[in-house]
Structure 1
Amino acid sequence: MSESTIRWESDADGVVTLTLDDPSSSANTMNDAYVASMGETIDRLEAESESVRGVVLTSAKNTFFAGGNLGSLIQATPEKTDEVLAQVTLVKSQLRRLETLGVPVASAINGAALGGGLEIALAAHHRVVLDDPKVKLGFPEVTLGLLPGGGGVVRSVRLLGLTTALLELLLQGQQIRPGKALELGLVHDTAADRDELLAKARAWVLANETAQQPWDAKGYKVPGGAPSSPSLASTLPAFPANLTKQLKGAPYPAPYAILSAAVESLQVDVDTAFTVEGRYFVDLVVGQVSTNMIQALWFDLNRINGGSSRPDGVDAYAARKVGVLGAGMMGAGIAHAFATVGVDVVLKDVSTEAAEKGKAHVADLVGKQVSRGRMSQEKADAVLARIRPTGDAADLAGCDVIVEAVFEDTALKHRVLSEAEVHALPDALLASNTSTLPITGLAEGVSRPADVVGMHFFSPVDKMPLVELIVGRDTSDAALARAYDVVRQIGKTPIVVQDSRGFFTSRVFGTLVLEGAALLAEGLAPMSVERAALQAGFPAGPLTLLDEVTLTLPLKIRDEAARAGATDDHPGVAVLRALVEAGRTGKSAGKGFFDWEPEKRVWPGLTGLFPSSDAVPFRDAQERLLFAMAVETARCVEERVLNSVEDANIGSIMGIGFPPLYGGVLQYVDQYRGAAEPGVASFVARADELADAYGERFRPPAILLERAVPAGSLRAALAGASS
């Protein structure tokens, strides 16, 4: 077993310590080597059962076990259903044999145990976890369109009860810390360090000569009762409706499969329950949604965070002192992001008093973290101590990074950047948080245009994980690489796009909200517009989004584009003008498409301006929102605003709310299923239908027509262009 991923060590007391340690990887995963090694290990345990007094499971890696082999799972197709089912059944059978050995088995969880890692741990009779805030336990499978298929559903509902397992672990993919896991009963004990962890696990094994899982004990009753029990029977029917409400009607199959597997598994014996769970798992694995989500939220995301768009040959960089220009909510949010990771921040506004208001916003943010137990008061105080509010540009002395976050006005941005350039370090990175103004033009306001880069944060900064980096005409590779590193330093994901008006995210987001306004003008009722978006998978409806960004902002952007020579006349613009002329500018004013006080409701006068009709089928409404974004993204690819499929997909999901179930905006094109086979050809055919019916803005650009052939894809187009 020299190539085994599991090391076997037996001591004088007959306790066997099994150490998970894949020699080919920095993390343990459920790959073929693991399956073979676990099979051999269980065979040996059974063969040497007379000399084995108990088993301790642990790991040699920083994490306990990283989970399933996503590289294998993403390759699964409906044609491989039987193969996938056989594999997951084998994994489950091995863990079932482990928990029924007849000797005590303890897990010494020394690091994160997520997905398959937690499933392995649950197959032990006793679990001790390292009490470290970096350690997390949970089942994040639902966030990738899957369910725990190695026994996680079956064991967690039997251990914790149906309601607790669903709400605390399964349906939302929470990753919980050791204290919470102990409180729930997911683990039995915690340890301060690795030595104590192993000692506690071994001591428990020696003190419990016989052990079995609670669900294998005669007469065991699941906490909270079985689905047929009176305590659950009255509330269980509400679960599907509540789930639909939580998902806002979006077609995510995994949460419903988890709910079904959980309920059905409690109505049969445990071994049959594993079969039920396995069949639901396989249906998800071979489906398109899990393929989309794994591709985007695992492979594409990891490529970006791993530096796929970072220029080569530039040394790694870390900011030491950052100057933030503008102390509004955006500037304060940026200051909070840097101060939280230990970077000193100079927060500058027109006066110290104005800058103090920005710091007060940061105080509110860290105060909420403290009240929720996510940050100690000591750390909160340290974060605030790193932020120096000022109205004097001279205080920017020593700053190696400047981030401008003032109003969207070119002259103003020129002035504050040039002022900061004088006082900051002579090679300081000069970044602008503009969401629409071309970076090349902004760079004209400073003496070092090569050091200017767009660094577009999203609001609210403390919650939004994305930053869009924009490369101007003169931006150097060194500046882009430094910006990339700085974004990673604050724990956010950087996508890289080329300079253009609106760049990628603002430009494509504009097509979504304006299409929603156009649907309203064509007779779709306001709430039908919103439901079309929500049931397509968007996190919010376009009319709500317009109210939240204020209706005047898109109009200002369109007007500036028109002055720059743009001729686009989107029908949604007239809708926004009509509301603004009626004095309804959005949520900040308390009235837009909705009245926001005392609670959100559709403005009654809206139907007077735009009478409802049945002219637009609901499916067309949904696809118009999706296609508007997809076609515009294809234009961004054609114009070389976008250079990578990963940036497009992750940017669309994390920045502008494109539904994750499609795997991002370009993945949506590549997997679109129409009358023909899934792919670009089907997308082009449907886009032409929408263009004929609703306007030329849906007409597919040349890059799509070129790829509308068998096996053609935008992913391949971008990969070929970059190679």
Structure 2
Amino acid sequence: MSEVSTGPVTVEMIDGVARVTMFGPPVNALGLPLRKALVEALDGIAHDPQATAVLLTGQAKAFSAGADITEFDAAASSPDLRELVAKVEDFPLPVIAAITGVALGGGLELAMAANARIADPEARLGLPEITLGLLPGAGGTGRLPRLVGPARALDMILSGKPVSAAQAHHDGLVDAVFADPAAKDGVRWVAHFALKGDRTRTRDRQEKVEVAHAAPGTVAKLAAVPLHKAKDPYAAQAAVDAITAGIEVSFETGAQLEREKFDERRQSPESAAQRYLFTAERAARKPRNLSTGVGRRVARAGVVGAGTMGSGIAMALAAAGIPVTIVEAEQDALDRGLARIVDNLATSVAHGSRTEAAASSERALIETSLNYGALAAADLVIEAAFEDLQVKKDIFATLERHVRPDAVLASNTSYLNIDVLAAGTAHPERVLGMHFFSPANVMPLVEVVRGAQADAEALATGFELVRRIGKTPVVVGVCHGFVGNRMLEVRSAQAERLLVEGALPGQVDRVLTDFGFRMGPFAMGDMAGLDIGWRNRKAQGLTAPVSDAICKSGRFGQKTGAGFYAYEGRDRQDDRFVAELIEGVSAELGIVRRPICDQEILDRLTFPMINEGARILAEGIADRSGDIDVIWVKGYNWPAYRGGPMWYADQVGLAHVAERLQHYALLTGDESLQPSPLLGQLADDGTTFGGDSR
């Protein structure tokens, strides 16, 4: 066996098979140095008389995670990724990609150019470009449909979600799955493949696209549902256009359109916003003043409360392989929570997101008890009772009598003061907040609340646990509502005022859905149940004239068939009763209603949030404006292609935001709309939340 090294690429000749190994830590990003090294290695192999085939592989954790994002705004350098992909596909010897770890984006496009693909059982494959506001740019929209068919390709490209090696094998994306495909068995598989003489290029395969090619319009029909679900409609439509051209016209036509659409999207504000979010999320993984590596690994966890949140948190822990015990006060509540878990697991199996074996394994990791003593071995316990400070204080006092002295205690509270909870314990240094979002087994965000006395180990333990269960942790400080809900309250107050002043629920909701939200505030309230907010307001001595009147009329949303809208099942429609009720509230308050334009509605729903975000930054509740944006995109479905509220403010201009807030403060008499000191200062200085000068 001979070995030749070309920078980040090693070539080993094993029984006539040239094993080409990429080594560009940490994830083999296909930047210029690696691309050059691969081209040089392939040129050398092409002139080697001993070589009969090529086995292209990477590191254990990454075949390749794709293009180097830092090159996106730079001038293209040869060889670019498209040239490298073409070289692999047109290579004079068979090329087989051995995928270990991840093959994502450009990494998968490179693998699809090979004559065949073999993968490790743990491999993950996908084209996630849409999460950056892009579409595949090196032939992915043409090659993937030829390997897996148009429907599956549309789903993968428009969702951006990776698939397992088993799924990829089932779909035809991978030809074989076995352990360590880059080792001896892989070399033998390649040698056998070379003997068969199958040199068909991926781009020339037609069997899986023949039907769609013969029936124009098929791709558009298949794309309707995934296009509707796509988080970036602009990039999604561009991808559909390229896929359609590649199938209904020709691979070459599709590839040309793909290049044009990729370059167009790369320069778009939507892609800039999502690339910013990518960077912001990475920054959020490294909170200021948080030592990495000092947290304890949680071997066993506990959850107090089997309601919607508690059962969801338990599912999230079990899905990551962590044994968890749920404790409840009453058997009926425990039974309902366990039934909810079983139903959710069964649904995920039916939808194909889990296997029966995985669901059974996760269910086996969840234990239940009516006794707090069952939490004695837990490294971390999350309290998930309803939002009542005294109830939570009593739970923490009980926990302290049963858990280990070094166990971390966390509250899932979404509003309450963590420092007050901690002060009632003997060890406030091991108390923190872990605010999951509902449904906790699905939503990707957790606000990790840093209490004033929480020590480094406790905070790091909670933070690292969130990452381990596959969610996005963002460290925040203590205040009412933390970051997300504090800003949401401001938006909710403005939505209520807009109704009283002249708007109606349908118009307000439409403005936000046009902006990119999945739902507006009133449709969302109807779905969640209006009685929940009403009960919370009454407990705090607060009022919301319109919302309270809606609830007093017995309309609590979808579950009662009427709320801000009238319902037939889940289908909603505007209701004249609600319009008359709102008009009556305005009259009672002595407010003369006026027409309110869409732009004012958008400004008044978003600019006060931005203003509150500035206050949050000034108070040190959030470390960075990017943390606020990650929270709102991941936790509240702010459209990712608009970058989050603080990024959005930077784009429209802080001086404009400040001027409009002043205008609306004068118009409505609402002094809370006056620009905060930080916003006013940045506007005067001509800078942004991101620190750039304008």
Task: Find the counterpart in structure 2 of residue 232 from structure 1.
Answer: 216
The alignment of Structure 1 onto Structure 2 pairs a total of residues equal to: 677
Shift of 1:589: 4.2
Task: Find the counterpart in structure 1 of residue 106 from structure 2.
Answer: 116
The percent identity for this pair of structures is: 29
| Aligned counterparts of 1:347 and 1:221: Cα–Cα separation in 2 | 52
Paired letter, 1:91: L
Mark the CA change 1:154 to 1:698 in structure 2 (over 3 Å): closer, same or farther: farther
Task: Find the counterpart in structure 1 of residue 590 from structure 2.
Answer: none
| Aligned counterparts of 1:40 and 1:65: Cα–Cα separation in 2 | 18
**Residue 600 of structure 1 is aligned with which of 557, 571, 581?**
571
| Aligned counterparts of 2:552 and 2:210: Cα–Cα separation in 1 | 57
The yes-or-no answer on 1:550 pairing with 2:529 is: yes
Task: Find the counterpart in structure 1 of residue 161 from structure 2.
Answer: 174
Mark the CA change 1:336 to 1:309 in structure 2 (over 3 Å): closer, same or farther: farther
Please show how residues 308-707 of structure 1 align to structure 2 within 5 Å. Answer: 308-309=287-288, 311-312=290-291, 315-558=294-537, 573-596=544-567, 598-602=569-573, 604=575, 605-610=577-582, 615-670=595-650, 672-673=651-652, 679-693=653-667, 695-707=670-682
Paired letter, 1:57: L
Q: Deviations over 1:278-319 (max 9, x none)?
A: 2211111122211211221x32223333x4356227723122
The yes-or-no answer on 1:206 pairing with 2:195 is: yes
Query: Alignment partner of 1:650: what SS?
Result: helix
| Aligned counterparts of 1:397 and 1:614: Cα–Cα separation in 2 | 61
**Residue 276 of structure 2 is aligned with which of 295, 301, 309?**
295
**Residue 715 of structure 1 is aligned with which of 672, 690, 694?**
690
Shift of 1:543: 0.8
Say if 1:513 and 1:543, in contact at 8 Å, map to a contact too.
no
Mark the CA change 1:536 to 1:16 in structure 2 (over 3 Å): closer, same or farther: same
Shift of 1:9: 2.7
Mark the CA change 1:510 to 1:239 in structure 2 (over 3 Å): closer, same or farther: farther
Paired letter, 1:284: R
| Aligned counterparts of 1:141 and 1:541: Cα–Cα separation in 2 | 27
Mark the CA change 1:240 to 1:530 in structure 2 (over 3 Å): closer, same or farther: farther
| Aligned counterparts of 1:398 and 1:63: Cα–Cα separation in 2 | 36
Mark the CA change 1:409 to 1:665 in structure 2 (over 3 Å): closer, same or farther: same
| Aligned counterparts of 2:433 and 2:68: Cα–Cα separation in 1 | 37
Mark the CA change 1:181 to 1:428 in structure 2 (over 3 Å): closer, same or farther: closer
Shift of 1:196: 2.5
Shift of 1:549: 3.3
Shift of 1:259: 1.6
Say if 1:519 and 1:621, in contact at 8 Å, map to a contact too.
yes
Task: Find the counterpart in structure 2 of residue 106 from structure 1.
Answer: 96
The yes-or-no answer on 1:223 pairing with 2:197 is: no
| Aligned counterparts of 2:328 and 2:219: Cα–Cα separation in 1 | 55
Mark the CA change 1:72 to 1:506 in structure 2 (over 3 Å): closer, same or farther: same
Instruction: Give the TM-score taking structure 2 as reference length.
Output: 0.89
Say if 2:220 and 2:244, in contact at 8 Å, map to a contact too.
no
Say if 2:301 and 2:381, in contact at 8 Å, map to a contact too.
yes
Query: Alignment partner of 1:64: what SS?
Result: strand
| Aligned counterparts of 2:15 and 2:58: Cα–Cα separation in 1 | 21
Shift of 1:145: 0.6
Shift of 1:50: 6.1
Query: Alignment partner of 1:35: what SS?
Result: helix
Shift of 1:574: 1.7
Paired letter, 1:106: I
Say if 1:161 and 1:225, in contact at 8 Å, map to a contact too.
no
Query: Alignment partner of 2:690: what SS?
Result: helix
Query: Alignment partner of 1:149: what SS?
Result: coil
Query: Alignment partner of 2:26: what SS?
Result: coil
Shift of 1:614: 8.0
Q: Deviations over 1:702-723 (max 9, x none)?
A: 1112222576222339xxxxxx
Q: Deviations over 1:639-677 (max 9, x none)?
A: 22212234212111111222211222222222x23xxxx
**Residue 259 of structure 2 is aligned with which of 278, 283, 286?**
278
**Residue 237 of structure 2 is aligned with which of 243, 253, 256?**
256
Mark the CA change 1:100 to 1:344 in structure 2 (over 3 Å): closer, same or farther: closer
Paired letter, 1:642: A
Paired letter, 2:56: L
Shift of 1:264: 3.1
Please show how residues 182-201 of structure 1 align to structure 2 within 5 Å. Answer: 182-194=169-181, 195-201=184-190
The yes-or-no answer on 1:152 pairing with 2:143 is: no
Runs of 5+ unmatched residues, structure 1: 564-568, 674-678, 718-723
Query: Alignment partner of 1:187: what SS?
Result: coil
| Aligned counterparts of 2:57 and 2:609: Cα–Cα separation in 1 | 47
Shift of 1:118: 0.9
Task: Find the counterpart in structure 2 of residue 39 from structure 1.
Answer: 39
The yes-or-no answer on 1:136 pairing with 2:107 is: no
Mark the CA change 1:639 to 1:548 in structure 2 (over 3 Å): closer, same or farther: farther
| Aligned counterparts of 1:443 and 1:18: Cα–Cα separation in 2 | 56
Q: Deviations over 1:163-216 (max 9, x none)?
A: 4422x32222231222322332223333344233332123212321x6241544
| Aligned counterparts of 2:219 and 2:142: Cα–Cα separation in 1 | 17
**Residue 5 of structure 1 is aligned with which of 4, 8, 12?**
8
| Aligned counterparts of 1:43 and 1:689: Cα–Cα separation in 2 | 66
| Aligned counterparts of 1:72 and 1:693: Cα–Cα separation in 2 | 47
Say if 2:227 and 2:233, in contact at 8 Å, map to a contact too.
no
Shift of 1:350: 1.9
| Aligned counterparts of 2:131 and 2:292: Cα–Cα separation in 1 | 35
Runs of 5+ unmatched residues, structure 2: 587-592
Say if 2:117 and 2:176, in contact at 8 Å, map to a contact too.
yes
